Amino acid sequence: MSKETLRVTEIFYSLQGEGATVGIPTTFIRLTGCPLRCEYCDTKYAFYGGKTLGIDDIMQQVESLGARYINVTGGEPLSQKRVHLLMKRLCDDNYQVSLETSGAIDVSNVDSRVSKVLDVKTPGSSEDEKNNHDNYSYLTYNDQVKYVICSEHDYNWSKDHLLEHDLNNRCPVLFSPCVGQLEPQQLADWLLSAKLPAAKFPVRFQIQLHKYLWGDTPGK
């Protein structure tokens, strides 16, 4: 029995709202704590508090919810070093695991079986200086990069950034409109008119499915 613990805000079962597995029933493990303070953050309740749970306890809760897809999120999950032990346990038990990370913390030690979803911080987040560009060399086809876009300036910055770092030849890239700041149709129109250079992974437009189903209700 493991005595290792993590600070956990919530564990819940819902539909995946974003990315490659959008729409699939998924168990979410939301860890507590984040060193960033993005302007558009919708999970500020995960900055503090939470409960201290043993990894064995977390595994039991995950098993009881029944989903094979697991999303480890936050906050910033990598701000707790023991998250690596949790992800290894999940992968060893044959769960399909994804990690939502800001990209500000080193991802080189993330288990190779985990799909990293790296949220590149745009200027609209006010945290773009925290982007750790060294992380891009650890991206593979199994991973994803996401840009939350708040404005036309963010959009143009994101295009330049992904091309500068050749990200859409490393893994799938997602452009997502910031809820309440940019209309989805506007971002779709910009993306269609851009005609970005051909790449291994064409940039994909996405909306946050869970926001349209449940709004900002925590635990959905």
What is the per-residue pLDDT across 24-61, written as a single tens digit (0 to 9) for each? 999 999 999 999 999 999 899 999 999 999 999 999 99
Q: The tokens of 65 are what?
A: 């919810």
Residue 218 confidence (pLDDT) above 60: no
Rounded average pLDDT over 190-207? 91
Percent of the chain with pLDDT over 90: 86
| Whole-angstrom distance, CA of residue 178 vs CA of residue 161 | 18
The residues spanned by each domain of the chain are 5-214
Tell me the backbone φ, ψ of residue 105, rounded to 5 degrees: -110, 145
Rounded average pLDDT over 191-204? 90
| Whole-angstrom distance, CA of residue 54 vs CA of residue 57 | 5
What is the per-residue pLDDT across 3-23, written as a single tens digit (0 to 9) for each? 799 999 999 999 998 988 999
Reported as a pLDDT band with limits 50, 70 and 90, residue 2 is low
Q: How far is CA 89 from CA 5, 56, 70, 93, in A?
A: 13, 9, 12, 6
Running DSSP on this structure, what letter comes out for residue 104? Answer: S
Q: pTM for the whole thing?
A: 0.93
- CA nearest to 59, candidates 111, 114, 14, 1: 1
Regarding the domain with residue range 5-214, which homologous superfamily does it belong to in the CATH classification?
Aldolase class I (3.20.20.70)
